[in-house]
Amino acid sequence: MKIIGITGGVGTGKTQVLSYIEAHYKCRVIRADEAAHRLYEPGQACYQKLAALLGQEVLNADGTINKAEMAKRIFHDKALLERVNSIVHPEVKRYILAEIAHEQEKGITEYFFIEAALLIEEQYDQIVDEMWYVHSDVAVRKKRLAESRQYSAQKIADIMQGQLSEEAFRTHCQVVITNNGDLEETYRQVKDIMGD
């Protein structure tokens, strides 16, 4: 089973690329964000620590963590963000490693894809066989985020500023997929990489 990490800046279309891969290949895909959200649930690995760190204000009436409130609290507080990340990231990695072991044991899956915005920063290169970078031009990304998520120009600029540079992505990744809007062209690149 080949383990592949997929990363890229916000708005590059990683979800589109992964949806195509999921539909056409014998693979398992884990999205780090979704894994983290699962670990925020009551009784899961991160819940108690996050509730203790962030306080009752981030809890919904049913005791679950209000993710929107949590995001709002940590977005402008770098120190708090770092403390949250120090709780969440090691648990997400532990969860992913357990899922990789599970898939290897079953012996059915040919490819295991890990999608994470912080793939490089969190040293996932140590557990994957290959790193893929989904690239889109900045103008394309801004347009996508404004249309699909209704983000303001300022919010887009703030998020992009906090992410790795184009050069850093290209330095750390062995494969680059360009996704500027022509999905057939994007899928053709995936097929070429997968040897179809």
Domain boundary among 91, 109, 127: 109
Q: How many structural domains does the chain have?
A: 2
Based on the domain organization, do 117 and 195 belong to the same domain? yes
Rounded Cα distance between 179 and 140, Å, is 9
Burial of residue 91, with CB atoms counted within 10 A of its CB: 0-12 exposed, 13-18 middle, 19 or more buried? middle
Domain boundary among 109, 127, 154: 109
**Chain length of the chain:** 196
pLDDT tens sequence across 92-148: 999 999 999 999 999 999 999 999 988 999 999 999 999 999 999 999 999 999 999
| Single pTM value for the model | 0.90
Domain that holds residue 173: 1-26+110-196
What CATH code is carried by the domain that includes residue 137?
Answer: 3.40.50.300
